[in-house]
Amino acid sequence: MDANNKPLRGNAGDHLANERTFLAWIRTSIGIMGFGFVVVKFSLFVRQIGIALGHQ
C-alpha cells in the first residue's frame, strides 16, 4: 500500500470531533458575552437605585 492510498476511516470522526469542539467554544463565548451584559446592566441598575435614594 502506498503512503498516498491510506484508508480515510478516522477523518470523518476527527472532523466531527473538531466541529463539536468549535461549537462548544462558540457556545461558551456567547455565554460569557451574555454574562458581561448582565453585569453591566446590573451596575447601571445599582447606580440608578443609588440616585433614586439620594446616596449619590
- At residue 2, the pLDDT reads 58
Question: What's the whole-model pTM score?
Answer: 0.65
- At residue 8, the pLDDT reads 61
**Buried (b) or exposed (e) across 3-21, using 16+ Cβ within 10 A?**
eeeeeeeeeeeeeeeeeee
Residue 34 grid cell: 451574555
Q: Judge whether residue 27 has pLDDT over 80.
A: yes
Contact (CB, 8 A) for 56 and 50: yes
- At residue 23, the pLDDT reads 98
- At residue 3, the pLDDT reads 60
